[in-house]
Amino acid sequence: MSREKNQLHRPGLHRADPSSGRSGGRPKEEGAPSGSYLQAGKEGTEGQNASAANQGRAPLAGKTSRPKRRLRRSNLHAPVIHNTEFTVISSVFVALFIAVGAYFIHFMVQEGDYYRNNAYNPRLSVAEARVTRGDILSSDGKVLASSKDGNRSYPFEDVYAHAVGYNSNGKGGVELQENDTLLRSHVSPVRRIQNLFAGKKDQGDNVTLTLDSKIQQAAYGAIGNHKGAVVVLDPDTGKILAMVSKPDFDPNKLEKNWDKLSTDKDQAALVNRANQGLYPPGSTFKIVTSLAYLRQNNGSDHNFSYDCTGTFSKDGYTIHCFGNEKHGRENLTQAFGNSCNTAFSNVGLSLNYEQWKQTAGDMLFDTNLPTDLSNSAISKFQLAKSDGAAAIMQTAIGQGNTLVTPIHMAMLASAVANGGKLMRTYIKDKVTSEDGLPVYSAEARQAGQLMTSAEADQLKSYMRYVVTNGTARSINSKSYTIYGKTGTAEYNSEKDSHSWFVGFAEQDQKKVAVAVILEEVGGTSTSATSAAGAVFKACF
């Protein structure tokens, strides 16, 4: 078991050439003063008249008094259009057009759901006046939320509180996320006419979630009275099979208990810890540290050997294994299985900072997670290149300033289980009309390849050793194969700690990934490991 120290949270216009002395007036013609005229035929008709007079002949008719026609250079006084000014002005308008277009796209794509589902959207108020809010159901058909006579009810009370959410005093969970969907009606034209004449509202569309009621109930029970969260995923599809957060609340009584729920910061019952809670990962982060080591060593751990004496010091800072236990000579698999802090402190000191940071980025740190869940927090890999040995050693074992969400850790376990491939996680499975006609059906989509299949296989072997010979031996099963990593995350100077388990299990072609965190449970990871074991039993 690991035990670590943590420091916690959270162009204007281009002018004409100034040498001309003007910026758009009439330019002076070279060799001809401004306002001058050019005369033509000085040796023409005037010359003929002069010759005739000298010879005593009359001048040519009509040519004696008419002044010589003078030709105006029509372009002399026209303003000069400078190509540079035209180009700059055009560029400004093009840039403005692009900026407006980009904002429009951002508004519609990135923030469209937020504004469509916002409770202050007046269009939704109109919809609520003519549409009865649709039902929310589990994947196996259990009604999780429904409306009757203008009242919203939640049959399972607090079991689905954070996942399903609430529809009073604002909105939360799926009730917020799918607000627009639930107030959209695809009833048949005949039914619409019938409702119109009967003075009844149309029935809104129903949203079916990916949540499995059996697994959800097991996850809820596994936490018990602890604060914490459980997330269960299907690695092959990205479906969220269960999502529980405690402390919780009964959405049926939300309005009555709102003042207490909204002001009790210690309990923070309205926060969905599964995707919004940020925690030090503890030794579960050794999954990332191990991957960084493999990448720096051409995918091999054959040269790794460490003699654990229970403690390790560097630059005046000492790391301890849990209970100062001496693990002796270890390879990387054994160090991972024993959750040896001193061994992984040395691994951290051996890593190239840039490559380690890149690996963390590849594992979805410091970026939005690929999920349809709204308001998910961003996990943080917070180690600077200038940090000393103490920060490096702590980060390597999941302490320091690194923070993660439970759903993020479940996604990492899913990627390992799926040969390095991560599927986008989602909770909305389908939408149907009142008559059961399909309106929307979710499709499994790959979010990315977080690691190579060879890297995933190597991590998988480490995680299997944890269950067969390491810190999670207590949940080993003969019916299905479990892989995991335990963790104990200290979160204050008094060394109070959270309990973690991150892993997955498989049986034939079926796989499930689980992340469990239990807050403030003491110095071991046993509690979270036991909770994960109960969830696995419900899954298989």
Average pLDDT, the chain: 85
Structure confidence by residue, pLDDT tens digits, 446-473: 999 999 999 999 999 999 999 999 999 9
pLDDT of residue 538: 98
The domain tally of the chain equals: 1
Residue 196 resides in a domain: no
376 close to 369: Cβ distance less than 8 angstroms: yes
pLDDT of residue 177: 94
Residue 333 resides in a domain: yes
Cα–Cα dist 513/499, whole Å:
17
CATH classification of the domain holding 397? 3.40.710.10
pLDDT of 81 strictly over 60 = no
pLDDT of residue 84: 78
Summarize the confidence of residues 132-153 as an average pLDDT: 96
pLDDT of residue 117: 53
Structure confidence by residue, pLDDT tens digits, 225-274: 999 999 999 999 999 999 999 999 999 999 999 999 999 999 999 999 99
Structure confidence by residue, pLDDT tens digits, 4-15: 444 334 333 333
Cα–Cα dist 288/321, whole Å:
19
Record the tokens describing residue 262, joined without a space.
């909204």
340 close to 330: Cβ distance less than 8 angstroms: yes
Residue 7 resides in a domain: no
Residue 20 resides in a domain: no
pLDDT of residue 113: 56
From the number of C-beta atoms within 10 Å of its C-beta (0-12, 13-18, 19+), residue 69 rates as: exposed
Residue 473 resides in a domain: yes
Sequence-distant (6+) residues with CB within 8 A of 40 are 68, 69, 70, 71
Percent of the residues in the chain that have a pLDDT greater than 70, as a whole number: 79
Sequence-distant (6+) residues with CB within 8 A of 101 are none
pLDDT of 96 strictly over 90 = no
Region for residue 198 given its phi and psi (left: phi exceeds 0; alpha: psi -120 to 50; beta: otherwise): alpha
Distances from the Cα of 510 to the Cα of 144, 230, 452, 461, 507, angstroms:
26, 19, 21, 18, 5
Residue 134 resides in a domain: no
pLDDT band at 118 (very low <50, low <70, confident <90, very high): low
Residue 401, helix vs strand vs coil = coil
Residue 509 resides in a domain: yes
Sequence-distant (6+) residues with CB within 8 A of 265 are none
Structure confidence by residue, pLDDT tens digits, 478-518: 999 999 999 999 888 777 899 999 999 999 999 999 999 99
Cα–Cα dist 404/381, whole Å:
9
Residue 298 resides in a domain: yes
Region for residue 339 given its phi and psi (left: phi exceeds 0; alpha: psi -120 to 50; beta: otherwise): left
Cα–Cα dist 520/435, whole Å:
48
Q: Residue 356's domain spans which residues? A: 220-539
DSSP code of residue 323: G
Residue 299, helix vs strand vs coil = coil
Residue 524, helix vs strand vs coil = coil
User: Alpha helix locations (H) across 351-440?
Assistant: 353-362, 389-396, 406-417
